[in-house]
Amino acid sequence: MANDIKVNIQCIAAIVNYFRWRKVTVIYQDNNDFITDSVITLLSDSLRVVGSEIDHHLSFPSQSSVSEHNGAIEQELRKLRSNSNRVFILVQSSIRFAISLFDKAKQMCMMEKGYVWIVGDEIASLLDSIDSSALYNMQGVLGFRTSFIDSSKSFRRFKTKFRKHYGTRYAEEEEYSNPSIYALRAYDAAWTIAEAMDKSPANATSKELFKQMLSSNFEGLSGRIRFRNTTLLKHLPTFQVINVVGKSYREVAIW
């Protein structure tokens, strides 16, 4: 139920093109797989289309511990700080790594005026789930997140239950978290399975259950859930382009 990575990359290129940044540095966690290589290649190609280019690559191993991350991050940021290019794009990253990166960048005065940081959907969509100290380190960051309808009755009911359970499980958090697009997709996936089981006989085989799932056609919290030829029909997502300000963020554009 995730977005096509190509659309995410195109949004990054659109932001870079809007501000006419011609050289960027890409920071990412390397999973040593085809997906990582594909993301970087797609980004390079998309930037070239708008007249920009990747000036520098900076990769970090995805399985490193927090202490290993911190040491490596500081070392690499020192190198970047001496470069003239100060537009940084964070892709293919876990939220834990992103928090460590911006914490270290803040300490090294690399979040000040003159530096530009862009994060993708995988980080921006989780900003409601991190504490204020992490957001403080991300002041000025640009990002984009998948837009979804948050005014429906079904969403409000889900949000109330989500925050109640979240608050019970993570009582030490500063405040209850709001559900991200990932929580909505997980809920829709679970609902698809539950609805298929409800419509199937008790002795249904896995093949029959799967067939029933593929007949799903309903408006989920993350969007329309409908399949064609075993594939979820995807609509082009709408992204909110956001800017981290204070203890939250503000929408600056729709893409």
Q: What is the pLDDT of residues 98-156, one digit of tens each?
A: 999 999 999 999 999 999 999 999 999 999 888 889 999 999 999 999 999 888 999 99
Does 98 share its domain with 224? Answer: no
The mean pLDDT value for 235-246 works out to 92
Does 19 share its domain with 98? Answer: yes
Does 108 share its domain with 79? Answer: yes
Does 48 share its domain with 174? Answer: no
Residue 29 lies in a domain: yes
The mean pLDDT value for 86-108 works out to 95
pLDDT for the residue numbered 234: 78
**What is the rounded average pLDDT for all residues in the chain?**
90
Out of 24-38, 172-186, 201-215, the most confident range is 201-215
User: 3-class DSSP state for residue 144?
Assistant: strand
Residue 118, domain CATH: 3.40.50.2300
Helix (H) or strand (E) holding 28, with range, is strand 23-30
Does 99 share its domain with 225? Answer: no
Does 32 share its domain with 128? Answer: yes
Residue 154 lies in a domain: no
pLDDT for the residue numbered 66: 60
Residue 171 clears pLDDT 80, i.e. is over it: no
Residue 212 lies in a domain: yes
Residue 155 lies in a domain: no
Q: How many domains is the chain partitioned into structurally?
A: 2
Helix (H) or strand (E) holding 186, with range, is helix 181-199
Does 142 share its domain with 247? Answer: yes
**d(C-alpha 199, C-alpha 197), whole Å:** 5
Does 139 share its domain with 180? Answer: no
User: 3-class DSSP state for residue 89?
Assistant: strand
Q: How far apart are the first and last CA of the chain?
A: 20
Q: Which domain holds residue 24?
A: 5-147+237-254
What pLDDT band is residue 67 in, cutting at 50, 70 and 90?
low
pLDDT for the residue numbered 2: 59
